[in-house]
Amino acid sequence: MNKRRVVITGIGVITPIGNNVQEFWEGLISGRNGAGPITKFDTTNFVTKFACEVKNFDASIYIDKKEMKRMDIYTHYALAAAAMALEDSQLDLSKINLELAGVVFGSGIGGIQTFEDQHTQFMQGGPKRISPFFVPMMIPDIAAGQISIKYGLKGPNYSTVSACATSSHAIADAFILIQRGSADIMFSGGSEYPITPMSVGGFNSARALSTWNDRMMEASRPFDKDRNGFVMGEGGGLVVLEELEHALNRGAKIYAEIVGVGLTGDAYHITAPPPGGEGAVRSMKEALRDAGVDPTVVDYINAHGTSTELNDLNETIAIKSVFGDHAYKLAVSSTKSMTGHLLGAAGAVEAVATALAIKNSIVPPTINLDEPGEGLDLNYTPKVAVKKEINYAISNTFGFGGHNASILFKKFEE
């Protein structure tokens, strides 16, 4: 039986380098840097005092002000991205079967700001001070639920939670659901609002964050010899996935086609990748096998590229293991050098970046890459964007717990 084809017909993003698709894409190709001092809380006692924050975001454009107060900000980002993607797709919801339209949307941490705020209320005034909206504001699935409720999407509806691989898993699941005929349309992606005292303090304790407070604009430097940890980011991304014939029948514009996904587990360590990126190797190989294509057709990899010592080296080794000599012909880049690491939202935002790279035939750069580290000898697209025909591209995301996801995109051809 032939698999149903799945295409991207709408996109929406909220990021540290742009609060809509046009701003985001212009930021990527110009090398815009999203880093800056943390403004959300007093960082006096914190080791890391900077992050990639979303700037000038007004949730009231997308959400009723009364409802806003009953949602964590990660859900604000989700609903904003959904509204943008729906408008971009030009879907008329009154003309589709809403029972075949669903949502798979994730968050790695969910409403941690709500949890911290409500814990403070509890400590100060006891359990009676806890808001009745505490639980539905905090839980990581509620963004998927809110998108479903707002648009009446009655098909598959759930959340994924797999650390940094969260929203790539969401998109992979949505792709598979359409392929198998469980849905014709899926809203899929992820959002995160992690720049909170507990999050920053926790990642500092794990020694995962960069501490370059005096060089914050240079701190997110994937593949560079001086990298010393990731830079935290926030925001959200959503793609409207649609069965090909459904999209063609309504004359939809198509950004790219998803043709394969690879989902694997390291079964190795709670935070570190296995030597040689063995899980990432299998993830990329499975995406290629799923699509039925040879590794040599791939032109670009949007790398996980976190700016951490172990990830960047092991992902590079994994790419060389999968692609052999072709690895040196690939364009590779890490858009985290500009956006920071959006944790559970990273996969969705980077899926958007990859689809736009294919659509526009431009590889976004890896900024701040002055001198690659030892063993890092691929073309990481340093400093500036490069014009390049991209027919196939892979987006990689790998999460704490050993969760790996690779999504293979293709330039759309009827």
pLDDT, position 351: 98
pLDDT, position 413: 86
40 and 111 assigned to the same domain = yes
Can you tell me the mean pLDDT for 262-289? 96
pLDDT, position 59: 97
CA distances from 216 to 210, 306, 405 (A): 9, 15, 29
Give every CB contact of residue 100 below 8 A, 6+ residues apart in sequence: 155, 183, 184, 185
| 375/313 Cα distance (integer angstroms) | 7
**Residue 52: active-site member:** no
224 and 111 assigned to the same domain = yes
Our count of domains for the chain comes to: 2
Can you tell me the mean pLDDT for 99-126? 98
Can you tell me the mean pLDDT for 249-262? 98
268 and 148 assigned to the same domain = no
286 and 187 assigned to the same domain = no
pLDDT, position 4: 97
- Domain presence at residue 285: yes
293 and 334 assigned to the same domain = yes
Whether residue 114 has pLDDT greater than 70: yes
Average pLDDT, the chain: 97
- Domain presence at residue 355: yes
Active-site position among 164, 232, 291, 393: 164
63 and 102 assigned to the same domain = yes
| 87/104 Cα distance (integer angstroms) | 18
Helices (H), 193-344: 197-205, 244-249, 278-291, 309-323, 336-339
| 7/25 Cα distance (integer angstroms) | 20
pLDDT, position 125: 97
Q: For strand 392-399 and strand 300-302, is the pairing parallel, antiparallel, or unpaired? A: parallel
315 and 379 assigned to the same domain = yes
pLDDT bracket for residue 2 (50, 70, 90):
confident
Whether residue 1 has pLDDT greater than 70: no
| 235/352 Cα distance (integer angstroms) | 13
281 and 321 assigned to the same domain = yes
Asked if 363 and 331 count as a contact pair (C-beta separation under 8 A), the reply is: yes
Q: For strand 331-333 and strand 300-302, is the pairing parallel, antiparallel, or unpaired? A: parallel
| 208/173 Cα distance (integer angstroms) | 29
pLDDT bracket for residue 265 (50, 70, 90):
very high
41 and 118 assigned to the same domain = yes
Residues 31-67 have pLDDT tens digits of 999 999 999 999 999 999 999 999 999 999 999 999 9
292 and 357 assigned to the same domain = yes
Neighbouring C-beta atoms of residue 56, cutoff 10 Å:
5
Structure tokens at 253: 């514009």
Range of the domain at 295: 261-410
120 and 233 assigned to the same domain = yes
Can you tell me the mean pLDDT for 202-219? 97
Q: Round to the nearest angstrom and report the end-to-end CA distance of the chain.
A: 19
- Domain presence at residue 314: yes
Can you tell me the mean pLDDT for 127-135? 97
Residues 72-107 have pLDDT tens digits of 999 999 999 999 999 999 999 999 999 999 999 999
Give the predicted TM-score (pTM) of the model. Answer: 0.98
| 5/26 Cα distance (integer angstroms) | 29
Residues 156-210 have pLDDT tens digits of 999 999 999 999 999 999 999 999 999 999 999 999 999 999 999 999 999 999 9
Vertex 360: Cα angle to 359 and 366 (nearest 5): 110
> What is the CATH classification number for the domain harbouring 365?
3.40.47.10
Identify any residues that bridge with 232 across adjacent strands, giving them in sequence order.
341
| 304/219 Cα distance (integer angstroms) | 16
Whether residue 414 has pLDDT greater than 80: no
CA distances from 295 to 62, 255, 325, 354, 393 (A): 42, 22, 10, 17, 10
